[in-house]
Amino acid sequence: MSDSPAPLLRAEGLVRAYHGESGPAYAVRGVDLCVRQGEFVAITGPSGAGKSTLLHLLGGLQKPDSGSVWLDGTCTDSWREARWAMERRKRIGIVFQFFNLVSGLSVADNVELPALLAGAPVKQARAERERLLSELGIVGKEHSMPGELSGGEQQRVALARALVNRPPLLLADEPAGSLDGKGTREVMRLLSRLHRRGQTIVLVTHDARLASSGDRVISFFDGRIADDVALDTPTPPRSGTSGVLKLEN
């Protein structure tokens, strides 16, 4: 046995089909994947390749037909929905394309909710919310409703909500997919910054340019990993923007 710690996330032999009238359609056809602590893995591929299904399997939002997922060395095969929900609260932050904020709750309440659900004292939830919102650049909007914010701002709130319980793993499914160029740059810049501070991230995107902000890029086609490439660690940016963000201008 090696001394290295178990990977934060491991999948083996993942298969998942959807069942329609014309029989099963395989969205994920046998995926092995290992994500180590601190990695920023981008999974990219065309629409319909099975990226969202794969991410849902990794976060327990869907169950595989076969294969297994290990979190931090623990096999999740026997986990039921309640266990997954609890583990997601603690260990896995998830950000989706369309934010999924609760429209009837203020920005502050949206961010604090997962902390309160996880049993954090009110004071601590508030302090963590304040820290995250100011870090993500949402200041003075605590009492706004999500619908009053721009798309980029809403996605930053969704990111704060995903991070409020300090999950070791962040899963993001097309987090910039519904944003304009400016919103996309904001979100990608934040992901890169989180990664530089040690956050483990699995990002799914159909946009190969956005994928290049990861330090490892997996090409996903037709339910399978076609390629898995470690990118050179980029030289730290001098101007405060990273290479991929410049492409957007």
Phi, psi angle pair for 245, to nearest 5°: -70, -30
Q: How far apart are CA 89 and CA 76, in angstroms?
A: 15
Q: Which of 10, 39, 41, 51 binds ligand ADP (CB under 6 A)?
A: 51
Nearer to ligand ADP, 27 or 202 (CB): 27
CB of 61 to Mg ion, least distance (A): 12
What is the number of other CB atoms lying within 10 angstroms of the CB of residue 83? 12
Q: Which of 52, 165, 192, 213 binds Mg ion (CB under 5 A)?
A: 52
53 touches Mg ion (CB under 5 A):
no
Of 187, 177, 186, 200, the C-alpha closest to 44 is: 177
Q: How far apart are CA 176 and CA 155, in angstroms?
A: 8
208 touches ligand ADP (CB under 6 A):
no
- Is the distance from CB of 106 to CB of 144 less than 8 angstroms? yes
CB of 47 to ligand ADP, least distance (A): 4
Nearer to Mg ion, 164 or 188 (CB): 188
CB of 74 to ligand ADP, least distance (A): 25
24 touches ligand ADP (CB under 6 A):
no
DSSP H/E element including 69: strand 66-71
Binding region for ligand ADP (CB under 6 A):
18, 25, 27, 45, 47-53
